[in-house]
Amino acid sequence: MPVPKDDFDALHPCDFYTPAELLDDDRMYTVYEIARLLQDLDADEELDPETENVLLDWAIPWIMFHSEDLVVAEPRDEEEPGYYGVAEA
């Protein structure tokens, strides 16, 4: 159920990093690593599965929105996820 804006002490702009601001040009990242970086966590931070699922809810749309600025690489083996990186300008 929607709630009034007045219920909140503060409202903040919905401002996300661009791929160039978030990712190193010479690195490739999994969606799990991107999810952590979007929350200012270390890419290899240990998270419980429930928290990781919440972070993925933010990361997947971010990747889709910025798809024109990203490159993707196939997993190196079947047990590994795909990788994303900054597209060359």
Every domain of the chain and the residues it spans: 26-86
Q: What is the pLDDT of residue 88?
A: 86
Residue 10 pLDDT > 80, yes or no?
yes
What lies within 8 Å, CB to CB, of 17 at 6+ separation is 37, 38
Mean pLDDT for 7-31 is 93
What letter does residue 87 receive in the DSSP assignment? P
DSSP-derived 3-state class of residue 73: strand
Pairing mode, if any, of strands 83-86 and 70-73?
Answer: antiparallel
Token pair recorded at residue 2: 């929607």
Residue 23 pLDDT > 80, yes or no?
yes
Is the whole model's pTM more than 0.75, yes or no? yes
